[in-house]
A and B are shown apart, each in its own frame.
Chain A
Amino acid sequence: MASATSVRPRLTSGFVPRRQVWAHRLFISPTILSILVLGLYPLLFILAAAFSDSTLGKPFREWVGTENFEVVLADGDIVASFLRTVLYALAISVASVGLGVVIAVSLDRATRSGSVVRTVLLLPLITPPVVVGTLWKLVFNPGGGLLDTLLRGVGVDGASVAPLSSTFWALPAIGLADVWQWTPLVTLLVYAALLTQDGAVREAAALDGAHGFGLFRHITWPAIAGTVAAVFFVRLVIALKVFDLVFIMTSGGPGQASTTTSYVIYQVALKEFDVGRASAITLLFAVVVTLVTLPVAALARRLSHD
């Protein structure tokens, strides 16, 4: 074995000189450091804070056991925010992925769409979320915003259109901004998957009479299903973390109508300075996120291996 490798030292062979092993460890150490500082350290910090009486200025004042968790679970507003966030994330992800796939397939079919079209379609993705929030806040502005003005133009009484101050419409309005911002990512990744597809297969299928939805279902969809599931997972995780848009557009209101869990954590930790309770909320939310995303991740893995 050793003599074979010395003839032609394949880099991926099992035999690696000791000196090289240390070099490889050195190479990955900055990456590991980043995981320690931004993954493990915050996790240990909030674990310790969740089981103690902690304020922003003075963390870990006194161990209080599971008291923080009991308070959080008894708080109807916080449990409601979990449910609200999960429903929001699922709805937004379905909408973004659905739209993104339709646009990607259209880009692929429309043979003459150039790079200008693709660049323009990408713009929302690279716009700072704070600007996206500002933009849609202006659109939804009840006194003379774009939506209000357009609805007046077609004869609807604009005075009743104020989505951001309606308990029912505030969250869907934030969702629209969210979909606007993140659909391009879906489009881009699905479009890339479509490009790797074999064009000859599609042509053959088209000659055999497959067209329209049939062509999509039997030829295109199987080729991109794995990518779509993976993108859905990514989109779901991003949607579960929504904060900037809520912060700019509604500050969680009216009442609690658009208070997502990230916003609750922000309020408790940095407005009420109760880091212990905020940490308990974070840990419970981590459990919720895991329960929601795990089936999606498993599905994505299965589809991409088939």
Chain B
Amino acid sequence: MTDSSPAARPRFAFQHRSVLAYAVLGVALLGTILPLTYLFSVSLMGRDETVSGILWTTDPQWSNWGDVLGSGIPASIANSLIAAFGGALLTLIIALPGAWAIARFRAGGRALGATLMSPWLLPPIVAVVPLLTLLRIVGLNNTVLGLALVYALANAPVAVWLLEGFVRRLPIEIEEAATLDGAGTFRTLIWVIAPLLLPSMIAVGIIVAILNYNEFLLATFLTQSADAQTFPVALSLFYGDRTPHFGKIAAASFVGVIPVFAAAVFFQRWLVGGLTGGAVR
């Protein structure tokens, strides 16, 4: 380390560091992929094979996947998708005007900025009983619509917080020009701001939709009837059997993960942009 030959050292150090970096990435990739591959492998195992200490079955049981597709899982995935996208769309409708008014006009003042993320600090279990009571009163408990509404409100603060960062990056001159041309506040929001923010809104929408799709705690109490269950709830019920069939549980897990993984592959750039856009200002 105390070696000093300033001319030669940096070049060597660069290469040395790259090797280390690639090694770290290799280990990280392996650590990410190995458990997922194992899940896939188990999804093709018969009931006996899951407890026999093998890593890969020689006799793939595609019937596990067939059984899962014939069970309530596809319907629960459909419920999850409806709640996820319905909730995300409503969240965006709530968050866009809020984010714009807060970022540009300091609407709500410091108090709103300070309280915006405070519900997020507490465990969501806090909200289960009060929300269950509320949904019962309005008659929306055990419905996908009720769940979508809860998701829409639950993620609105996060969406406002993320979108605010994007609003601040828009050049204010465009809005000023619109005002000079006589556009009112509403017209500026709908015809100037919304189109400019569309890419950011899609990014934030995808993040919120994934959060909704994956949510378990609220869903398990707000959608107890079989026809309103979301995917995480339906999957958790597989453990209710006296002797759970790990092969089928793994197959169900994999089927349910496909929509989010597909979204990640298609919207990789948007996803990363949305997650980092609000945080790095």
A265 partner, pick from B123, B186, B210, B271, beta carbons under 8 A = B123
**Please, how many angstroms separate the alpha-carbon atoms of A36 and B21 in the complex?**
47
Judged by DSSP, the binding face of B is helix
A39 partner, pick from B18, B31, B115, B210, beta carbons under 8 A = B115
A45 partner, pick from B13, B112, B129, beta carbons under 8 A = B129
Asked whether, in the complex, the Cβ of A20 is within 8 Å of the Cβ of B6, the reply is: no
- Given known contacts A28-B98, A212-B13, A266-B125, A135 and B108 CB-to-CB distance under 8 angstroms: no
Asked whether, in the complex, the Cβ of B119 is within 8 Å of the Cβ of A189, the reply is: no
Q: Name the interface residues of B1-51: CB closer than 8 Å to any CB of A.
A: 4, 6, 9-10, 13-14, 16-18, 20-22, 24-25, 28-29, 31-36, 38-39, 42, 49-51
A117 on interface, CB distance cutoff 8 Å = yes
Asked whether, in the complex, the Cβ of B21 is within 8 Å of the Cβ of A110, the reply is: yes
Q: Name the interface residues of B201-224: CB closer than 8 Å to any CB of A.
A: 210, 213-214, 216-217, 221
Stretch in B59-67, B140-148, B152-160 with 4+ CB within 8 Å of A = B152-160
B36 cross-chain contacts in A, Cβ below 8 A: 123, 135
Asked whether, in the complex, the Cβ of A192 is within 8 Å of the Cβ of B128, the reply is: no
Asked whether, in the complex, the Cβ of B107 is within 8 Å of the Cβ of A123, the reply is: no
Chain B 222-240 near chain A by CB (<8 Å), digits 1 or 0 = 0000000001100110010
Asked whether, in the complex, the Cβ of B123 is within 8 Å of the Cβ of A31, the reply is: no
Asked whether, in the complex, the Cβ of B105 is within 8 Å of the Cβ of A130, the reply is: no
Asked whether, in the complex, the Cβ of A180 is within 8 Å of the Cβ of B35, the reply is: yes
Asked whether, in the complex, the Cβ of B280 is within 8 Å of the Cβ of A16, the reply is: no
- Tell me the smallest distance from the CB of A105 to a CB of chain B, in Å: 7
- Tell me the smallest distance from the CB of B252 to a CB of chain A, in Å: 9
Chain B 146-181 near chain A by CB (<8 Å), digits 1 or 0 = 000010111011001000000000001001100110
A37 cross-chain contacts in B, Cβ below 8 A: 134, 153
**Please, how many angstroms separate the alpha-carbon atoms of A27 and B115 in the complex?**
17
Chain A: CB-nearest residue to B175? A11
Asked whether, in the complex, the Cβ of B264 is within 8 Å of the Cβ of A110, the reply is: no
Asked whether, in the complex, the Cβ of A148 is within 8 Å of the Cβ of B53, the reply is: yes
- Tell me the smallest distance from the CB of A106 to a CB of chain B, in Å: 4
Chain B: CB-nearest residue to A207? B10
A28 cross-chain contacts in B, Cβ below 8 A: 97-98, 101-102, 107-108, 112
Size bin of chain B's contact surface: 35 or more
A128 partner, pick from B16, B185, B216, B269, beta carbons under 8 A = B216
B68 on interface, CB distance cutoff 8 Å = no
- Given known contacts A9-B179, A111-B18, A189 and B157 CB-to-CB distance under 8 angstroms: no
Chain A 19-36 near chain B by CB (<8 Å), digits 1 or 0 = 110011111101111110
- Tell me the smallest distance from the CB of B208 to a CB of chain A, in Å: 12
Asked whether, in the complex, the Cβ of B105 is within 8 Å of the Cβ of A119, the reply is: no
Asked whether, in the complex, the Cβ of B236 is within 8 Å of the Cβ of A247, the reply is: yes
- Tell me the smallest distance from the CB of B118 to a CB of chain A, in Å: 6
- Tell me the smallest distance from the CB of B210 to a CB of chain A, in Å: 5
Asked whether, in the complex, the Cβ of B25 is within 8 Å of the Cβ of A103, the reply is: yes
Chain B: CB-nearest residue to A241? B123
**Please, how many angstroms separate the alpha-carbon atoms of A262 and B216 in the complex?**
13
Chain A: CB-nearest residue to B271? A122
- Tell me the smallest distance from the CB of B19 to a CB of chain A, in Å: 9
**Please, how many angstroms separate the alpha-carbon atoms of A100 and B157 in the complex?**
26
Asked whether, in the complex, the Cβ of B116 is within 8 Å of the Cβ of A35, the reply is: yes
Q: List 20 additional contacts besides A24-B185, A243-B124; criterion CB under 8 Å.
A: A27-B98, A28-B102, A30-B93, A34-B156, A37-B153, A105-B21, A109-B18, A123-B264, A128-B216, A128-B231, A128-B257, A129-B214, A135-B39, A146-B34, A158-B53, A188-B272, A192-B276, A244-B232, A248-B236, A265-B126
Taking beta carbons and an 8 Å cutoff, which residues of A are in contact with B?
8-12, 16, 19-20, 23-28, 30-35, 37-39, 41-43, 45-46, 49, 56, 59, 102-103, 105-107, 109-111, 113, 115, 117-124, 126-131, 134-136, 138-139, 141, 143-144, 146, 148-149, 152, 158, 180, 185, 188-189, 192-193, 196, 206-209, 211-212, 215, 227, 230, 237, 240-241, 243-244, 247-248, 261-262, 265-266, 269-270, 275, 278, 282, 285-286, 289, 293
Taking beta carbons and an 8 Å cutoff, which residues of B are in contact with A?
4, 6, 9-10, 13-14, 16-18, 20-22, 24-25, 28-29, 31-36, 38-39, 42, 49-55, 93-95, 97-98, 100-102, 104-105, 107-108, 112, 115-116, 118-131, 133-134, 150, 152-154, 156-157, 160, 172, 175-176, 179-180, 184-186, 189, 210, 213-214, 216-217, 221, 231-232, 235-236, 239, 246, 249-250, 253, 256-257, 260-261, 263-265, 268-269, 271-272, 275-276, 279-280
> 26 A-B contacts, Cβ less than 8 Å apart?
A9-B180, A10-B176, A11-B105, A24-B107, A27-B98, A30-B93, A31-B112, A45-B133, A106-B21, A107-B25, A119-B268, A120-B29, A126-B261, A128-B214, A128-B256, A131-B39, A134-B39, A138-B246, A144-B49, A144-B50, A144-B52, A146-B38, A148-B53, A209-B6, A243-B217, A282-B122
